[in-house]
Amino acid sequence: ALGLETGYRNDMIAELQAEGNWWKDNAELLERRLKRRGLEATLKEEEEKIGQLHNYVREQEFNLLELERQKHLISPRGIQQGWREEIRDNIAEHRTLITQYKIEALFERGLVRGKCEVDLGQRREAIQYAQWQAAKHEEWRETEIALLFERDARKAHDNKHREEKRKVAQHRRRWSVKFFNPAGKPDKRRRPGRPWDAEAFAGPERETYCGGTSDVFAFNKSVDSMRAGSDESLKAVMGKVQMQSFINESQNMESLLKPLAKPMQDLQHPKPQWKQKAEAEAEAEASPYLWLPEPRTKEWEKPLGPPEDPTAVLRVPGFPSPRFVQEVEDEMEREKRGVGHTAQAAAEAARKAAIEAGEEWAFDHSHAHEEEDEIKRQRRERVEADERRAAALKKTRDRRARNHRPVVSRIPWALLDELEHEKHKLAGEKAVNMLFDHG
C-alpha cells in the first residue's frame, strides 16, 4: 500500500509538471503571435490618426465660427461687391469638411481602433490566463513534492524508531535475568515479559525506615497515658526510636560534611571582587612580609580551644605578601636602570628580609641590633611618607569638595552589592541549618 501511494504521488507530480510546461509553452506561443500581428503598433497608429482628425475638426469649426462672425460684420458695399455669396459658399464648404472628418473619425478610424483594442485585450487575457495556469501548476507541483518528502521522512523516522525499539527490546531480552526455583526449573511466579505474582515480592516485615517516613513529632507524644503493651504505646515507642536513630545519622553526616559546607557555599555565592580585594589588602597590611609555613602538628597534639572561624580568609603558606613583592619589583627596576645595585646591596637586602621574617639564624648576628635599627628607621620613613601623601591627598579632596556641587541623589552600588551578598549568604546558611541543624 505504501509503495502504491508513493507511485501515485510520483505520477501526480509528473502530470502536474507536464501540464505546467504545456501552459508555459502556450503562453510563450500566444506572446509570439501577438508580437507578430503588431496590434500594439496598429493601435498606436490609429490613435495618432484619430487625433489628427480631431485636430482638423476643431480647426474647421473655429474657421466656421470666424466666417459666421464675418458674415454679420459685412458692410453694404461688400454686399454690393458679392462678398456675402462668397462667405456663404465658404460656410457650406467648411460644414461639408467638418462632416466628412467626423464621419471618418467615428465610423472608419474609430471602428478599426475598437477592433484592435478588443483583439489585443482578448489576446492579453489569454496570455495572462496561460501564465496563471502555469504558475498554479508549478505551485501544486511544489506542494506535492513537499508532501512526498514529508511522507518519506516520516516513514524513514518511523522505521528508524521501530528498529531502535526492536534493538532495545532484543538487548533487554538478551540481558534479562531468568529466575529458577530450587529444583532448577523456571520460576512461574517471576516469568520474563509478564507481571510478577504478589508472592514473589517481599512482605511488610522486610520494610526499611528512612528520614522521610519518621515522625518529627514523636517526642511530643507521651506514653504515660497509654496502656503498657498496647499497639498504640508500642507504635509511639518505635516512632521515638526511629526518630532518634534518624537524628543520630543526620548528626554524623553533618559532622562529616561540615568541612565541605562552607567552601561549597562560597563557591555558589562568592563575595564581590571589591570585598575580596579589600580583605586581601587588609590581610597583607596586617602581615606585610613573608607568610612562612607553619610547623605541622598532629591532630591529637594541637591544644584545645575554640573552633576556627569558617568565614576567615584562607592563609596560603609560603606565599609572599604584596608589599614584599612590590619591594622585589622595585629592586629589579633599580637593577635594570643600574642605580644602586651591587652584590653587596643584594646581600644586604636579603639579610634585611630574613631578619624581618624571623630567620636571623641564617646570617651573622654580629650587627643584628644595627640592622634592626635601620629597618625601624626605614619603616618610620615609610610611615611618614604615607602620612604626607595622605595629607596632600586630603587637601586635594577638600579643595575638590569645596568646588564640587552636592549630589541630590546617589545610588550606593557598593552597599547594594554587599546587601545582595549578605542575602545569598543568609539563604545559604538557612539551607544548611535546615539540612544539618535540629536544635
pLDDT averaged per 10 residues in sequence order, the chain, 439 residues:
78 92 93 89 87 86 83 75 79 86 85 88 92 93 92 92 93 85 88 84 71 79 74 81 83 83 75 75 60 46 50 46 62 63 56 56 51 78 85 77 56 68 79 64
Burial track 290-302 (b if 16+ CB lie within 10 A, e otherwise): bbeeeeeeeeeee
Say whether 339 sits in a helix, a strand or coil: coil
Q: How far apart are CA 368 and CA 291, in angstroms?
A: 22
**How many Cβ atoms are within 10 Å of 82's Cβ, its own excluded?**
9
Which pLDDT score, from 0 to 100, does residue 347 have? 57
What pLDDT is attached to residue 411?
Answer: 52
What does R_g of the chain's alpha carbons equal in angstroms?
56
Give the CA angle between residues 386, 388, 394 to the nearest 5°: 100
Neighbouring C-alpha atoms within 13 Å toward the C-beta of 58: 6
Torsion of the alpha carbons at 8, 135, 30 and 38, rounded to the nearest 10: -170
Q: 0.75 cut: is pTM over it?
A: no
Q: Coil, strand, or helix at residue 180? A: strand
Q: Under DSSP, is residue 154 helix (H, G, I), strand (E, B) or coil?
A: helix
Angle, alpha carbons 208-212-218 (nearest 5°): 95
- Rounded to whole angstroms, the Cα distance separating 150 from 427 reads 52
Residues 6+ apart with CB under 8 A from 391: none
Map residue 186 onto helix, strand or coil.
Answer: strand
At residue 180, φ and ψ (nearest 5 deg) are -130, 155
Q: Which residues lie below 8 Å from residue 113, measured CB to CB, with a gap of 6+? A: 43, 46, 47, 50
Residue-level pLDDT at 311: 52
pLDDT for residue 43: 87
**Nine-digit cell string for 101:** 472628418
Helices 273-286, 322-337: axis angle to 10 degrees equals 80
CB count within 10 Å of CB 95 equals 14
- Cα–Cα nearest to 281, from 243, 334, 325: 325
Q: How far apart are CA 286 and CA 288, in angstroms?
A: 6
Phi-psi map region of 209: left, alpha, beta (phi>0 left; psi -120 to 50 alpha): beta
Beta strands in 318-412 (DSSP E): none
Residue labelled with grid coordinates 587637601: 395
pLDDT at 161: 94
DSSP string, 365-389: -TTHHHHHHHHHHHHHHHHHHHHHH
